[in-house]
Structure 1
C-alpha cells in the first residue's frame, strides 16, 4: 500500500527534475588536441584568410596584432601582423611575432588573483578574511566603506562595491575641457597628486591609495552587486606584498613568471625596443604604474601568454582546495554574463550551428592607451586564446578578431570532436555473457550528442518501457543522452570513463514557451538500484567494453544484428 502511494510522487519528482533541461553540457570528454590538431588545419586557414581581409582595411594601417591558440599541452596556431604605419623616430620591433611585447593591461588581474590563490593555499592569506585584517590602516579614522565586510574573495570577484579608479578617468585632466561641456569650475582637493592626476610625473603608492579610500564612498554594499573596480586588485596587491614580504614586482617574478618560464614577461619597462610593439600616437609604453601594477602593469607576448593559459587549463581546479578558478562568482549585466575571480565569463548559445548547447568562455580583457588585449579560456574544449592588439585608434578591431577566431574555432572543433566521439563510442553492443539478452545501440549527432538509440536489458525494452513510463513526458520529444562526468574508475590497471545517461527533452520549433519553461535543475543522479546509480555507464576503452553497473552487465561491440534479439516491451 505504501509503495503504491509513493510511486506517483516519485514519478512526478523525476519528470519535473528534467522538465526543461536542453542541450546538456559537457557533451564530450575534454579533448587532447595535439593528436588531432591537423584536423583543425582548414579551420586555421579560414581564420587566417578572414584576419588578412580584416586588417587590409586602411583604417587599420597603424594596427599591429599577435594572436595565438593553445591546447593544454602546446600551441596549435598563431598569426601576427605588423602595422603598415609606424612612428619613424621610435618604430619598436621591426617585425611583430610571438615574442613581441604589449602592455596586457587588465589581464594582469588574472596574475594577481593567481598570486592570491597561492597565498591562500599556503595559509598566509585567507580568502574569507576581510582586507582590513591585512591592511588595518583602511579601518582607521572611520570612512564610509564597510571594510569588515569586504573579504579578499569579495575583492577578487568584483563584488566589493568600491569605486572603479582613484587616480585616473577624472575629467579635470581632460580633454575635453570640463567647462566647454557644461561642467562648473572645481578644485583638485579630492584628487591624488600622482599617476594620471599628476600628468604622470609620479606613480601612486600604497599610501596614496589608502588615504584616498578613507574619503571615498562605496557604490554598493559589499556582496550586493558586481561592478568593475581596479581598486580591488590594487588592494590585493598590497596584501600580497605584506604576506610575501616582497614588493609586488618581485613576488610576481618569483611566484609566477619565472616558474612558468615566461621569459620575456615583466612588470618593468623592457630595457630596449627589440620586442616592443609601439603604436603610432599616444601609448602607455614605459609608464610606471606603481600601486596600480596589480591591476594592469604587465608586459607580455602571445608566446608567454600561451604558457600561462596552458597552466590554467591544467591546474584551474587544483590551485587551491575547494576552488574551481573558472566558475562564476556573481552575475553581470544581461542573461549570459558573469564575474569570476576575476574572469569575465560569457555563456552563449549562438555559436554552434546544429545545437543551442551553451559554450562557456572565461575571459579577461584589458585596455590602456595604445593597447587592447583579451584572453579566452574554453575549458570544455581544452583551448586557450590570446589576442593582443597595438593601435592608438582602432576602435573595435580586437572584438572583430575575437569574433572571427572564436566562432570559426569552436565550430571547427565541434566537427572534429563529434567525428572522434562517433569513432570511439558509437555502435551496437551486446552482452559479453551470452546468456543475457541485453544490448545497447549508441549513436551521435551534433544536435543531440552521444545518445542511446536502443537499450535492451534481459529482453526488456528499457527506453520504451521503464524510462518512457516513469521518467519522461511522452507528449514531448526526448532522447536519452550520455554525458561525461570527467571522472574515472580504476580496475586491474585499466581506466574506465564514467558517463551518465540523462533523459533530455528536445526544443520544439515554433513552440510558444512560458517564462518558467527555461528553469532547469540539473540532476544527473536521478535513481539508484540496490545502491548503485541506475544511469551510470563506464567505457573501458582498452578492451572496447561498456559497463552498466546497476544493470549488472558488460557489453562489447558486436556484429549481431539488432533484429536477432528478442525484445519484450
Structure 2
C-alpha cells in the first residue's frame, strides 16, 4: 500500500472529526447486558427504593380508587413484581378481592403488538407479504369507492407502522355522542343520519366487518401513504381482517392458537375473565363486558401482568429473529418530537435524562393503551434485557407517575450493575510478551469499556495516531469497545465479539456551538489490515465455568493476548472501579 493511499484512509477518518462531538462519540450499548442470575445489591436497593416510593405515592387519597400491577422481567424470569388493590371499589361489583399477578386487566392498545406478531408469523409462513397492498387481502377495498383513500398504495407494513394516513377511528371518539349538548361549545345542531349503528353510537353493540368496510369505502385520508405518521386504530382493525382472511380463522381464534396458547398465557383472552379475576375500576366496571367486535385487533385483549411478563420474555429473545424482513425494535417513522419514533407498532423513546451525567442515551420500546378506566403500558429495554409491565385501573394520571418512578430508578441501578459486571469480566491488562504486545482495557461510566493503552510489536499505537491527527486539528483520540452481541462461535456462544471504535476528538474552536454539532453517523468498520477488521476484538474465557475473560484475540493484528496476573484484582485497571452515581 502506498503512502498516498494510507494517508487517504486516515484523512477519511479525519473527515469525521466535525461529526465526533460529545453527543456522537458514545456507542450503545456501552456494556453487555447484565447477568441477572448473579446476586445484585444494586437491584435489591432499587427495588426497595421503588417499593417505598410507590407506597408513599399510592397512599394519597386521590388514588383510593386505583389499582395497579407492575412486573419487571429479564429474558429468563420475573425479577420483581408489586400489586396494589384499590381501597374504594364498586359496591355492587368489586371484582378481584386482592390484585395479584393473575388478576386481569383490559390492556387496550397493547393488543396491537399481538396483531403485528401474528402478521409477522404469517409473513414468515409465506401466506402474506408485509409489502403487499391491503386490498390484496380485503376484496371490499377493491373497485369503486365513495371515498378517496388510495388502498392500492397502502401496504400491510405501512398500516403496522402508523404510516397509512387513514383516519384514527370510525365508531368512537365522536363529540356528538360524548358530549350531552355539543351546541354549548359552538357546534351546530345535527341529526344522527348516516352515522354508524354500532359501538358508542348504539349502546356499544359490537361493530361488524361490514360496518367497518362500509365506513372505509366512503372515508378520506388524512395524509398520503408514507407521507407522515399519525396514530390510527383503523389500521390494526384492517390487519385483523387480513389475518382472518389468510388463516381461515377468526382473528381471535388465530391469536389464541398462534400466540397465547404456545406461550402459555392462560390468563389472557378476548373473552372477559370471571369477576373474581377482574380488576374493575370504580365507576367504569360496565366497560369490562363490552365486546369490541371488529375492533378487537386494535384493543380488545384481556391479560394479566404475569402473562405479559411471559410475552415480554419471548419478545426480548426473538425481536430480531422472527422474520428476516425487519428488526422488530427498529423505528419506522418519526413523531413530532426529536426523541420519539413509531415502530411496528411500537412507540419508541430515546432519552439522555436518565443517565444524564454520562451523556449516554437509553432507548425504550413501548406500547401504551387506554380504555375507560384503564391505562396500560409495556416497556422493553433491549440494552439491559429488561421488560416492564405497568397496568392501572382507576385514576388515569397514575400511569405517568408510576412509569417515571420505575424507569428512572431501575435503569440507573441496572446501569451500575452492568458497569460492575463489565469491570469484573473484561477490565485488565492482556499481553503477548514474546512480541512485546500489550492491551489494557479500562472502564468509564461515560464511555463504557475502552482501550487505555495498546502497545503492538513495541509500538505505542496511541502516541503514533495522536501525533498524526494532532497536526490536523485533533485534541485527543479515544477507542471505545462496545459489544456486538455476536460470538465467534455462535453455536456454543463462545468468543464475545466487540468492536473497537476510534474517535478523534477535535480541538474546540472557542466559538458558540454549531447547529450541526448534533449530527451523527455510525461508521464502525472503517479500516482493515490484510482482510481483517482492525476494530475486531474477541474476548475468550478459557475456563468453561469461569466468569472472567482470560484471553483476547485481536483479529487484524493476528495475536492472542493472555490476561496478566492470576488474581482478577491484580489484573484490574490501575484506575479502579468508579461506578457512576446518577
| Residues 1:472 and 1:211: Cα distance change in structure 2 (over 3 Å) | farther
Number of the residue aligned with 1:320: 323
Is 1:455 the counterpart of 2:462 in the alignment?
Answer: no
Paired residues of 2:473 and 2:506 also in contact (CA < 8 A) = no
Within a 5 Å distance, the mapping from 1:145-160 to structure 2 comes to: 145-160=149-164
Number of the residue aligned with 2:529: 529
Number of the residue aligned with 2:411: 410
Number of the residue aligned with 2:48: 45
**In structure 2, what is the Cα distance between the partners aligned to 1:299 and 1:217?**
32
Number of the residue aligned with 2:242: 239
Number of the residue aligned with 1:517: 517
Q: Deviations over 1:184-231 (max 9, x none)?
A: 01232342110011121x110111110001111100000010000000
RMSD: 2.2
Equivalences, count: 555
**What's the offset of the Cα at 1:493?**
6.7
| Residues 1:536 and 1:473: Cα distance change in structure 2 (over 3 Å) | farther
Within a 5 Å distance, the mapping from 1:12-91 to structure 2 comes to: 12-17=11-16, 19-20=19-20, 21-37=24-40, 39-91=42-94
**In structure 2, what is the Cα distance between the partners aligned to 1:553 and 1:442?**
16
Q: Deviations over 1:394-425 (max 9, x none)?
A: 24210110010000000000111101001110
**What's the offset of the Cα at 1:9?**
3.5
Q: Deviations over 1:222-245 (max 9, x none)?
A: 001000000000000000001110
| Residues 1:491 and 1:119: Cα distance change in structure 2 (over 3 Å) | closer
**In structure 1, what is the Cα distance between the partners aligned to 2:516 and 2:507?**
16
Paired residues of 2:374 and 2:396 also in contact (CA < 8 A) = no
**What's the offset of the Cα at 1:474?**
5.7
**Which of 203, 208, 212 in structure 1 is aligned with 2:206?**
203
Moved over 3 A (4+): 2-9, 36-39, 470-478, 491-494, 504-512, 559-562
**In structure 2, what is the Cα distance between the partners aligned to 1:467 and 1:508?**
12
Q: Deviations over 1:317-347 (max 9, x none)?
A: 1111232111111111110111111000001
Paired residues of 2:163 and 2:225 also in contact (CA < 8 A) = yes
**In structure 1, what is the Cα distance between the partners aligned to 2:281 and 2:225?**
39
**What's the offset of the Cα at 1:282?**
2.2
Paired residues of 2:68 and 2:392 also in contact (CA < 8 A) = yes
Paired residues of 1:32 and 1:72 also in contact (CA < 8 A) = no
**What's the offset of the Cα at 1:467?**
5.7
**What's the offset of the Cα at 1:542?**
2.7
**What's the offset of the Cα at 1:372?**
0.2
**Which of 92, 97, 108 in structure 1 is aligned with 2:95?**
92
Within a 5 Å distance, the mapping from 1:209-248 to structure 2 comes to: 209-248=212-251
**What's the offset of the Cα at 1:473?**
6.1
User: 1:280 is paired with a residue of what secondary structure?
Assistant: coil
User: 1:197 is paired with a residue of what secondary structure?
Assistant: coil
Is 1:557 the counterpart of 2:563 in the alignment?
Answer: yes
**What's the offset of the Cα at 1:477?**
4.2
**In structure 1, what is the Cα distance between the partners aligned to 2:430 and 2:470?**
24
Is 1:161 the counterpart of 2:162 in the alignment?
Answer: no
TM-score for the superposition, normalised by structure 1: 0.94
Within a 5 Å distance, the mapping from 1:105-124 to structure 2 comes to: 105-124=108-127
Paired residues of 2:466 and 2:474 also in contact (CA < 8 A) = no
**In structure 2, what is the Cα distance between the partners aligned to 1:491 and 1:375?**
30
**In structure 1, what is the Cα distance between the partners aligned to 2:471 and 2:411?**
32
User: Which moves more between the two structures, 473-482 or 417-426?
Assistant: 473-482
Number of the residue aligned with 1:485: 484
Paired residues of 1:14 and 1:471 also in contact (CA < 8 A) = no
Number of the residue aligned with 1:388: 391
Could you list the runs of 5+ residues in structure 2 that have no partner in the other structure? Answer: 544-549, 572-582
| Residues 1:472 and 1:67: Cα distance change in structure 2 (over 3 Å) | farther
**What's the offset of the Cα at 1:16?**
2.6
Number of the residue aligned with 1:364: 367
**In structure 2, what is the Cα distance between the partners aligned to 1:12 and 1:178?**
67
**What's the offset of the Cα at 1:146?**
0.4
Is 1:500 the counterpart of 2:470 in the alignment?
Answer: no
| Residues 1:5 and 1:189: Cα distance change in structure 2 (over 3 Å) | farther
TM-score for the superposition, normalised by structure 2: 0.92
Number of the residue aligned with 2:436: 437
**What's the offset of the Cα at 1:5?**
4.2
Q: Deviations over 1:449-470 (max 9, x none)?
A: 1011110001100111136525
**Which of 287, 290, 296 in structure 2 is aligned with 1:293?**
296
**In structure 2, what is the Cα distance between the partners aligned to 1:277 and 1:125?**
37
**In structure 2, what is the Cα distance between the partners aligned to 1:424 and 1:107?**
38
